[in-house]
Amino acid sequence: QHPTHRTPEIAAALGRAEAFIRSIQRPDGSWYGSWGVCFTYACWFGATGLAALGHSVANDEALRRCCAFIASKQRPDGGWGESYLSCQDK
């Protein structure tokens, strides 16, 4: 709404946020969240953060790896079946 307000500072903050999101992605494409249904939620937040920065599966390897991770965990019934034990068992 205010594209000229503190543009350099906001750009720097967004750059740091993106670097952080990318730095904590696991090699298998997932993100680990230390709460509830940790991998499913963490992938949701990691992917949403990158998408908010203008990235998509079409132009971002991290998002493609995340999607591959999520798809590899889907069960025949369409769900993922992750439970709270994912935080404990990683």
Structural domains of the chain, count: 1
Residue 2: other Cβ atoms inside 10 A: 7
Supply the pTM of this predicted model.
0.85
pLDDT of amino acid 90: 75
pLDDT, tens digit, 9 for 90 and up, residues 23-53: 999 999 999 987 767 888 899 999 999 999 9
Mean pLDDT of the region 3-17: 94
Q: Is residue 81 part of a domain?
A: yes
Containing structural domain, residue 84: 29-88
Q: Which residues of 1-51 form beta strands (DSSP E)?
A: none
Task: Extract the tokens encoding 65.
Answer: 């790896």
Q: Is residue 78 part of a domain?
A: yes
| Residue 88: pLDDT over 80 | no
Q: Is residue 2 part of a domain?
A: no
Q: Is residue 16 part of a domain?
A: no
In terms of Cβ atoms closer than 10 Å to its own Cβ (0-12, 13-18, 19+), residue 39 is buried
Q: Is residue 79 part of a domain?
A: yes
Mean pLDDT of the region 61-79: 95
